[in-house]
Structure formats: structure tokens, C-alpha cells
């Protein structure tokens, strides 16, 4: 069965790049540009992984991760946080909120796909 990935990214070029790379990797992908639609899309799409931009225009990616992790339908879905925030303590703070993976932008394809596969293939707790 094809694994499903929800991509929450408000930058058009980044969203297209992530989606194209993931589709080329054999995944079913649902792009979301508006952070306010992310949880609703996730409930309908039932992803195996969410790639989440942290610095969204309309809502904090950190708030979305926290909301996902408190939602009984979504709490088991792993989150790969992708962010331009790469300062001291940022990764730790993002992981404490519930993200299982973390990559700083700009993202290289190899590490991105390795992180995706590592999270999507992991056994559920």
C-alpha cells in the first residue's frame, strides 16, 4: 500500500519541490499551503507522515504540531519539521512539542529522503 505524506508548506517553490521529490520516491502526496487547513486535510487524508514547515505565514507550525499530537486521530502520525529556524535550542524545542524529525532549510534531497524514510518506516509505539 502506498504511504501517504501531507506536506504543509506555504512557500510555493518549497512545497512543489517537496511534493515532486516525494512523488518520485513513490509516495502519495497531499500539499497544503494554508496552515489553517492542515489539521482538517490531515484527518481526511490520513497521512503516514506530515512534513511541516515551522514558519508558516498564518499559523505557527509549532502550534499545528501540538494540536496534532493532542488529536486522537492524528497523535500517532510522525512529523518531520522543516524550518529555517536553526538556532541554538530550536531543534530541542521543536522535538519537545512532538516532532519526531527535524531538518533545517535549505534542505538537501538526500538527507530529506533519508529522514522521510526513517520516519515513515518506523514501527509505531
What mean pLDDT do residues 77-105 have? 92
Instruction: Report the alpha-carbon distance of residue 45 to residue 54 in Å, rounded.
Output: 20
pLDDT tens track for 113-125: 999 999 998 765 5
pLDDT of residue 125: 52
List of residues 6+ apart from 74 with CB closer than 8 A: 39, 42, 43, 68
CATH 3.40.50.2300 fits 4-120, yes or no: yes
pLDDT tens track for 41-84: 999 999 999 999 999 998 999 999 999 999 999 999 999 999 98
List of residues 6+ apart from 9 with CB closer than 8 A: 15, 18, 31, 32, 33, 51, 53, 82
Helix axes 90-97, 61-69, angle to 10 degrees: 30
Amino acid at each position: 500500500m502506498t504511504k501517504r505524506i501531507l506536506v504543509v508548506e506555504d512557500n510555493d517553490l518549497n512545497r512543489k519541490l517537496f511534493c515532486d521529490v516525494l512523488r518520485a520516491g513513490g509516495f502519495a502526496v497531499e500539499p497544503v499551503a494554508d496552515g489553517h487547513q492542515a489539521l482538517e486535510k490531515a484527518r481526511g487524508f490520513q497521512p503516514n507522515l506530515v512534513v511541516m514547515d515551522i514558519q508558516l505565514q498564518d499559523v505557527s507550525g509549532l502550534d499545528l504540531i501540538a494540536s496534532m499530537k493532542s488529536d486522537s486521530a492524528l497523535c500517532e502520525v510522525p512529523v518531520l519539521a522543516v524550518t529555517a529556524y536553526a538556532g541554538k535550542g530550536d531543534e530541542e524545542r521543536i522535538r519537545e512539542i512532538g516532532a519526531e524529525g527535524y531538518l533545517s532549510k535549505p534542505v538537501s534531497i538526500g538527507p530529506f529522503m533519508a529522514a522521510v524514510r526513517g520516519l515513515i518506516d518506523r514501527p509505531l509505539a
